[in-house]
Structure 1
Amino acid sequence: MHIIKLNATDSTNSYLRHLSNTETLEDYTVVVAEFQESGRGQMGTVWESEPGKNLMFSVLKDVSFLKIQSNFYISRVVSLALIKSLQQFSVPKLSIKWPNDILSENSKICGVLIENMLKQDSLKSTIIGIGMNVNQVNFNDLPRASSLKLILGTQFDLDELLIAVVKNLKYYFKKLEKQQFHVLKTEYENYLFRKDRPSTFQDVHGNLFSGYIKQVTESGCLQVLLEDDKLSDFDLKEITLLY
């Protein structure tokens, strides 16, 4: 495992992507930064972090073994690796808020940005960007955010957390390489936030509706049982879970 440590960068994902375009990198090359000037989250959101207090890193992984229609399994693998890592540090009440936010109870402690790289319409590699709230205790205008220090009351070693996450990424990617799709899907859904519980959603037009999360489809859509007993699939841009 090759780890590149930076004091600051615009985005570890962007840095790693540029690096991979200019030289051949080994599998699980990691770029970690004390500060990101333009940290990115899902759907163009910004990941804000105090310098040196949180874990912000990106991992390059060869996924050429995976068919493009199965790309959401990358998200499942990353989510499960984070859950397993946090369990090893005794973080309680962990769940996965679709598609890959990691919560402790109702508070977000970890976000993920996955950017796949294609070659001739086939998966080549993926860059997995992870932001984990570790030792930061103040989150202005982010009422849903928390950190490991706020939850457990102790200071954490960022390098120790990083090594644990990469180790667990290797563990779950090995399962994926062995095509253990059902095992990964089942384990992922066992941690799915608000699964089979009455929940409120908002669509792209701002309309609110109620339903029950049933599963996440093979392609990564959230399947919701609506009030008329109809099962509907929604992709990431179509629905927001309110909680």
Structure 2
Amino acid sequence: MRIIKLDATESTNSFLRDLSNKNSLEDYTVVVAKQQTQGRGQRGTVWNVNPGENLTFSVFKDFLDLKIEHQFYISIAISLALVDTLNAFKIKKVSVKWPNDILSENKKLCGILIENVIKNNALDSSIIGVGLNVNQKIFINLPRATSMALQEQHLFELDEVLLVFLKHLKDYFKDLEAGLLSKLHTTYETHLFRNNKPSTFKNAEGLVFSGFIKGVSPSGHLQVLLEDAILETFSLKEISLLY
């Protein structure tokens, strides 16, 4: 496993993607940056963190013809690896807010950005970007953000956290490549934020409505039980969970 450490870069995902375009990369090549000047999150959001206080990194993962219809299991494996990592450091009440935001006591600790490379109608590789709030204690205008240090009232060693995560990531990707999809899916749903609880949502048109999260489909769509016992499925672009 190769770990490349940078003082600063626009985006670790972009840096790793450019590197993969020029070279044949070793599986689990990692790029870690103390500062990202143009870090990105889901839905085009910006991921801003204080330099040197948190983990902003990307991992290159090669796949042997993983089926396109199974690509959400990449997100599942990463989410579960982060849950296990945070549990290893005794972080309280860790959960996964669909599809892959990692929470502690209802506040966001971590975001994930996955960029898949598809060749010959199969998933060839992925670049996995992770932004994990570790030691930052002040988040301006982000009332729902938190960090490991805020949750546990002490600082953490960044390299140690990274290595624990990579170990868990390898374990879950072994399960994925072994075809243990049902096991991964069941475990993911046990950690799903507000699963089987009344929740409030907003659709793409801005309409707010209520329902019960009943799980996630194998393709990654959120399953919500609405009024009159109607079970609907929603993609990431169609719905957001308000909390």
TM-score, structure 2 as length reference? 0.99
1:197 Cα offset (Å) = 0.3
**CA positional deviation for 1:105:** 1.0
Q: What residue ranges of structure 2 are gaps of 5+ in the alignment?
A: none
Supply the RMSD in Å over aligned alpha carbons.
0.6
CA distance in 1, matches of 2:81, 2:51: 25
Q: Which residue matches 2:104?
A: 104
What TM-score, normalized by structure 1, do the two folds share? 0.99
- Aligned residue for 1:205? 205
Q: Say whether residues 1:190 and 2:190 are aligned partners.
A: yes
For 1:215 and 1:99, locate their aligned partners in 2 and report how far apart those are by CA, in whole Å. Answer: 11
Report the CA distance between 1:119 and its aligned residue: 1.2
In 2, the alpha carbon distance for the partners of 1:28 and 1:131 equals: 17
Alignment-mate amino acid for residue 232 of structure 2: S
In structure 1, how many angstroms separate the alpha carbons of the residues matched to 2:175 and 2:184? Answer: 8
SS of residue matched to 1:193: coil
Unaligned runs of 5+ in 1: none
Per-residue deviation, 1:111: 0.5
SS at match of 1:156: coil
Task: Supply the AA of the counterpart residue of 1:183.
Answer: K
Deviations 1:23-57 (A, max 9, x none): 01100000000000000000100001000000000
Q: 8 Å contact 1:70–1:218 — kept in the other structure?
A: yes
Kindly state the Cα deviation for residue 144 of structure 1 after the two structures are TM-superposed: 0.5
Displacement, 1:64? 2.7
Instruction: Assess if the C-alpha contact under 8 Å between 2:65 and 2:122 holds in 1.
Output: no
Letter in 2 for 1:182: S
User: How big is the shift at 1:198?
Assistant: 0.3
- In structure 1, the residue matched to 2:44 is 44
Contact 1:225 1:232 in 2 (8 A): yes
State the partner residue of 1:173: 173
Aligned partners of 2:56, 2:183: CA distance in 1, in Å?
29
Distance 1:183 1:110 in 2: 23
Percent identity for Structure 1 against Structure 2: 58
Alpha-carbon distance, 1:66 to partner: 1.3
Q: Matches of 1:123 and 1:132 in 2, distance apart?
A: 26
Q: Deviations over 1:167-211 (max 9, x none)?
A: 110000001111001100000000000000000000011101000
Q: Look up the match of 2:162.
A: 162
The aligned length equals 243
1:77 aligns with 2:62: no
Q: Following the alignment from structure 1 to structure 2, what is the Cα–Cα distance between the partners of residues 38 and 205?
A: 29
Question: Does residue 63 of structure 2 align to residue 63 of structure 1?
Answer: yes
For 1:61, the aligned partner's letter is K
Work out the CA distance in 2 between the residues paired with 1:178 and 1:168: 15
Q: Secondary structure, in 3 states, of the residue corresponding to 1:174?
A: helix
Distance in 2 between the 1:122 and 1:4 partners? Answer: 28
